[in-house]
Amino acid sequence: MEHPLIELYVSITDSQDHASAEQLLQTVDIDDVVVRTLHAAGIQQQVMLTVLITDDEGIREMNMQYRNQDKPTDVLSFPLLNKPLVEAPQDQLWVPQEDAEEQQAQHPDFITPPGMVQNLGDIVISWHTLLQQAQNAGHGPLYELIFLLAHGVLHLVGYDDQTEAGYRAMVGIQEQILRQSGQKV
């Protein structure tokens, strides 16, 4: 597998926090974390995705708009796939939305042309929540960043943590990626 095409953006209002996030991002190979996560999920094809590191206010607005929850969260994933790409037991995967058939009639599936890169979607991570969770768990921000990035990638390819089986599968892969990245689990 070639390295995925990753667009990385940092959009944090506070300039000091923005600089801190940029500094942490320079210490991790984002491509490597994504590739390892994709491989662990059995995904070998060339893909692309977008990662946005934002602040609590930015992710709170998205959480309200897309999930109707008026609070910040650690990570949001916005898959562009109509169905899971990963092959795993059904109880570990998200299911297409109920109105997908109705939407399908109005807007047929986008089919990635042969030879083109599959766009998995977008991952949004809150810098402030990342720092708070790292502090609460007693590990560093790098550990939390790798954990959340792997989590977001797993959601993009089809995993869902709303079931016990899905949660266990995701955490198992996330811990594997942490170990492969030199983090103690």
Sheet with 5-11, side-by-side order of all strands: 5-11, 47-54, 118-126, 75-79
Angle at the Cα of 49 (from 48 to 53), degrees rounded to 5?
A: 150
Q: What is the pLDDT of residues 5-38, one digit of tens each?
A: 999 999 999 999 999 999 999 999 999 999 999 9
pTM for this entry: 0.92
Q: What is the pLDDT of residues 90-132, one digit of tens each?
A: 999 998 866 545 555 556 666 777 778 899 999 999 999 999 9
Domain contains 77: yes
Q: Is 161 annotated as a binding residue?
A: yes
**DSSP characters for 71-135?**
S--SEEEEE--SS--S---GGGB----TTHHHHHHHSPPP-PPTTSPEEEEEEEEEHHHHHHHHH
For residue 59, the enclosing domain spans: 5-180
Q: Is 151 annotated as a binding residue?
A: yes
Q: Is 14 annotated as a binding residue?
A: no
CATH number at residue 56: 3.40.390.30
Structural domain tally of the chain? 1
Do residues 163 and 94 lie in contact, with contact meaning Cβ atoms separated by under 8 Å?
no
Q: Would you give the distance in Å from CA 49 to the centre of its chain?
A: 9
Domain contains 185: no
Which DSSP letter does residue 163 get?
A: S
